[in-house]
Chains A and B, each alone.
Chain A
Amino acid sequence: DTAVSQTPKYLVTQMGNDKSIKCEQNLGHDTMYWYKQDSKKFLKIMFSYNNKELIINETVPNRFSPKSPDKAHLNLHINSLELGDSAVYFCASSQDSGTPGEQFFGPGTRLTVL
């Protein structure tokens, strides 16, 4: 009964490959997010989706694309992986109630690009 789940937990791949990370939330939340935590441990928001609309898009390379098949899922697709993409990626969700809501985070996916 995990609230926010991500798969895989670890992902090791070669430069140039295309990969996806899946995220699912069973909280019935309206908004989902992707964050990146780099080797220096800084957490930065990448995307958020509300009712299948992208509402925040930070300066992220267009090799990264979020895809939401339904309200409970927000998957992260990464094309042409680069060494600098190595990081821990966290998915999160929150309920859109007109004021800032608590964000629930998943356990993270550690991506290593060789």
Chain B
Amino acid sequence: DAKTTQPPSMDCAEGRAANLPCNHSTISGNEYVYWYRQIHSQGPQYIIHGLKNNETNEMASLIITEDRKSSTLILPHATLRDTAVYYCIVRVYDDMRFGAGTRLTVKP
């Protein structure tokens, strides 16, 4: 019962930007957009989050549309180690619900 929709899989060439889309058309005003990734069978790893404004950190950039109904995670220079399942989550407080995510495969 995740509140987001993501493509099941995407490919990206090594060194190129990976743009992962996420739809969250029912997002509420106080819900944040979070991105996590899970590499193989490891524990999920936090990437970035935002509320209204675009955000950037050392790992990625998060672009949120003005109406907040969708967002895009950008990995500027994808490497083979970025191959993982990427989860887009909308949450308030601690109620974090994972969907199926997008399996990103970075190819040489």
Contacts and interface: CB of A to CB of B under 8 A. Distances in A.
Contact of A56 (B38, B87, B95): B95
Contact of A105 (B43, B91, B100): B43
A107 B94 contact: no
B92 A100 contact: yes
B94 A56 contact: yes
Contact of A41 (B85, B92, B93): B85
Interface in A29-65: 31, 33, 41-45, 48, 50, 55-56
Contacts of B95: 45, 56
Interface size class of A (residues with CB under 8 A): 20 to 34
Interface of A is mostly: strand
Contacts of A100: 32, 34, 49, 91-94, 96
A103 interface: yes
A102 B98 contact: no
Interface string A62-94: 000000000000000000000000001010101
A62 B91 CA distance: 26
B44 interface: yes
6 contacts: A45-B95, A102-B49, A103-B44, A107-B42, A107-B43, A108-B41
